[in-house]
Amino acid sequence: AVVAVVVALPTSLGRALHPVRHADQIEASCERHGVDPLLACAVIECESGWDEGAVSPVGAVGLMQVMPDTRSLVSLGLVDDDAYDPDDLADPMTNIEYGCAYLGYLQEHLSGLEEVIAAYNAGIGAVQGWISEGGTIPEDVEYAETRAYLDRVLAAYEAYQDSYPSGITGA
């Protein structure tokens, strides 16, 4: 019989495995949009592996793999396009602002963490469709990619919570 043992990693090792870059920008954007900075870090880790130059096959850009059609966040008044140019999503500061604004938007329109994470991957319309038919997240996620994404982000989020108990800018 195989026995699995879960061991909490010392904070320093956890931080080595789960880095944080641009902590001040993440903190500021998360504060503006009511998002947990540790969740934003987990999304960044799973979306781009902290690669500022990442571009997906479908055109998502940067750390948080923001889609170029996020101009709607400007029209909704969630992002100041004078401070964060939507044409410069490859810029880490701009990318973090748009990604955190989108996470905040999802939090306002969905009812739980798992729904928010699934919607960041699959889109809010897909998630609302799944739950409008009496479905729940994660049980009724129809996309295998989104189910896997949800598991990865939740695991990363837990690792960031364990590794940064005082927050990403704390000691």
Task: Assess whether 97 carries a catalytic annotation.
Answer: no
Radius of gyration of the chain (CA): 16
The neighbour count for residue 54, using CB atoms within 10 Å, is 18
User: Using an 8 Å Cβ cutoff, are 138 and 150 in contact?
Assistant: yes
What is the DSSP secondary-structure string of 79-92?
S-TTTS-TT-TTSH
- Token digits for 165? 């108990």
Of the listed 27, 31, 45, 47, which one is catalytic? 47
Strands in the chain per DSSP E: none
Which residues are catalytically annotated?
47
